[in-house]
Structure 1
């Protein structure tokens, strides 16, 4: 259950001991329930930490403004805490669209958007259903299963591999890279907000680099194969878009593919797991959903708000700017706590309650906002709707084993690593 505000770690203690309360999110008990600390940070903000070069915001309106503000840059590679770790200017250059500013960001986003049109997303419904049916057939007679490894993860990884047109016999190789690739995407955010070596070990970072090289090489080979034999997949779509005028370099395409691969399956895995966990902890809402299947869309929206798959983002002030009455100097790292904003009582009455039929809810911050709003969000929501509908309809008396819950070490994209569920077969 969500802890009450007086449980968890006290903000004053964290700040006095560590200088930066964001470090506390690395602790196991906080990963399991970060919401008490997120609430304290929301109400204490805008909160400058360290020497004032990092400022934390958690109120809904402030976070929304940061994510949309033209003066809030996404490329944090020139922040002091990353500069002191990576001396080479070329190595610091942002290549991922996540951490890219205009005009490069808009240029790459234009190409990617062609692969997430409503028609293409709708075409995946039958494929998602097929994957979900196959997975349920494997555990439906067992009476128990690990919801993360046996449902949420294989749904998300299966769809992203289909989206990319990755052959079945190559999927296992891709899976081996996924965790390192996911952690590596947190480095620009956490490195700028906390400090690179406070979050990652040097050998880990070296391994991230090796994995990234392997992934880029794999996607470069996939591009070569698609040039010879194009199909109905995102790689072919990117190559087709090239021919219509503007052109992405080979490295830009492999970077786009690597980034999308991680983003698409990580956030979807968390959305499915978090949504089902919220239903199991709130059986009245499970009953409401079963009695009113048309609430599935709003249920997924509420799951996104209540326990967001992505918890925070970092931005850098590009010019002197004011957010929430706080003046930011150029170069200041701004940490936007989307998960805190999603529980802001000013925007959501009874924000700590999971209510699948909220009246006129505000749009959650879970998929970002503004120029970096997640292009793949409709596909992620469709996957979640199909998987959660099957769970609610097919399993009798499901119960979560609270002692089995294990959260991954990720801070930005927070989610479960293990979640055992029992049911009546």
Structure 2
């Protein structure tokens, strides 16, 4: 959500930032809605002041035993009551119209975000690690994964397309990955582990920016709750409707949860394999910080996700997304892309975003700043990592010619020392 005051003060800069994101100028519409709302507020205040003054005059007329004048004044007060009720209704409608208009507009890109319309114009920040070399032609995970427990056929039989039954070695490896990620983030990087609800109300999904614009990307239950598309929703909303003490920040949360996405905009993409699913596990990171520390926190969070990849021995690169490729709530996003030798290319495995105060305004999440005045917090979120995609990366990078997969050393304690997964 944007601050309408800042839009009024600098509409040209606001529109220029929206155009960078591929949108249309919106300031004129927003300012007009705000002017209508403010005009109603002024009329309401004037009518209330007039009513108060007339009520005082009624008392004075009665004290002077001027009953005729008192009755005339009381009739005018009654008329003003009706006018005030009508103004209150109009005021509520005007407030809602402005809120609806503002809620449909994405966050503005940070100054250092590169221009561009899609992933082709994202900016390489750095590359880490060495791509593995093979004495054989490396395969994609969907060709040898079934022998290790990626059961695509049964998953589709049970639930339809983009569902996979994970069993045997693959299930154990996925569990090990999730536990390793949580341990790394909590023990090494100071995140607080959370086991959050998977079903949330409208207000929570609105707070992080999925509603109202992206309802079709979500799954909804018959009683009106939403299945979380990412634990970002639950974790970020921990601080909704709160005023936090400044010395309580930063707050850093992490959770390993199932995530549910309809993939409405992904028709025809990654229809094979385990890359894009309706249900998947992900370890999420969320930070709640002061505005002064959010830039450093974005770098820290991204480095935490990179540390997980480095410990797993996976080659990856960091990309800074261009303005047209960022998510709705993000002001800046780093994507981490892992090398998949079977596909012969890098694929996204984590997105780490700073949302500035955009989500905080939607959630009314504040902290008591210097001088005791409440101010909006800044929120950040990132994957640390997507478990399914990391499972794919481990399978493809550690595959052996006989169809087995070597287990990365850091995962072996979670598998009771097992160092190789053999095909069934």
TM class by smaller structure? under 0.3
Structure with greater contact order relative to length (CA < 8 Å, sep ≥ 6)? 1
TM-score by length of 1: 0.25
Q: Which has the higher helix share?
A: 1
